[in-house]
Structure 1
Amino acid sequence: MKIYIDADGCPVAKLTVEIAKKYGVGAVIVKNYAHEITDDYAQIVTVDISSDSADLAIANMISKGDILVTQDYGLAAMAMTRGANCINQNGLVMDGRNIDSLLDKRHVNRKMRKDKKIYTKIPKRTSADDESFKASLLRLIESLVNR
């Protein structure tokens, strides 16, 4: 098992690597070359800056039983077809029960942004958000280890 991190814009990359290290699980950070990320534990994969480069790299590397940390529902859906487990930065585990509705929501929101009928204002991340993510990731790792 490895944990893949879609690091472009990921507020929990460092926290995820800390957890991976604690459990002795490999961590792979996938980022484009515009982001400067270093880590002594995780493998860093740097890709082109084009819009889907990181997503395609992850989709090609990830395997059954791996974990993906991403806020991209489309990438999560691709990873799930390869048997991966997906979680977002807020601790939401994405699976067969909710991925269709998440993709529908993504489509509607994108359309509304394009039509200028909705503007997203994301609140500042708090330590409680990090704790919620951490608890969910720990539950996911432990459920996979105990299979």
Structure 2
Amino acid sequence: MLKKRRLFVDADACPVKKEIEQVAAHYPVSLIFVASYSHYSIDSAPGWIYVDPDKEAADIYIVNHAEEGDIVVTQDMGLSSLLTHKHVYVLTPGGNLVKEKDMPNILHRRYMSYKQLAQGNRIKGPKPFSLKDRQRFCRSLENLLSQLS
């Protein structure tokens, strides 16, 4: 019997949770939202896993449970680097598929940004999340799920 592919969502700050539910409903995937207990809601649907409110608890849960061939939606590039190494598909909320070969450059840019912050310099933050970003994400998730089904 073939194991059902799982789609994990690093849910605490994910701006596309509704879109993920809508797209994933058309594919044979198990949807797992991982969030801190501080975001707990009595109205949570099945498929929500709550973890300690510690800073990296959701990331640790995802790293420990995601397996080769699973999909993770996250904007955390540190988490992405741990997952791409395990041959997990990583998709950002902006619709970018993160590849293992790109991780050294991504992590270097992240390091340089943190270094600038530590020196007291200001860095430009992300642009506001737009409707185009949501649409690009939906297309990317749809494409990925259709290729893997």
Instruction: Give the structure 2 partner of residue 70 of structure 1.
Output: 74
Query: Is residue 2:105 matched to residue 1:101?
Result: yes
Provide the secondary structure at the position in 2 that maps to 1:18: helix
The question of whether the paired residues in 2 share the 8 Å contact of 1:67 and 1:85 is answered with yes
| 130, 138, 142: which one aligns with 1:138 | 142
The equivalences for 1:91-130 within 5 A come to 91-130=95-134
The question of whether the paired residues in 2 share the 8 Å contact of 1:109 and 1:118 is answered with no
The equivalences for 1:73-84 within 5 A come to 73-84=77-88
Deviation >2 Å, runs of 4+ = 36-40, 118-124
The question of whether the paired residues in 1 share the 8 Å contact of 2:85 and 2:100 is answered with no
The question of whether the paired residues in 1 share the 8 Å contact of 2:113 and 2:123 is answered with no
State the 1:39 CA deviation.
4.5
State the 1:67 CA deviation.
0.4
Give the partner amino acid of 2:108: D
Provide the secondary structure at the position in 2 that maps to 1:23: coil
Structure 1 length normalisation: TM-score?
0.90
Provide the secondary structure at the position in 2 that maps to 1:29: strand
Higher relative contact order (CA 8 A, sep 6+): 2
Could you tell which deviates more after superposition, 61-70 or 79-88?
A: 79-88
Identity over aligned residues, as a percent? Answer: 26
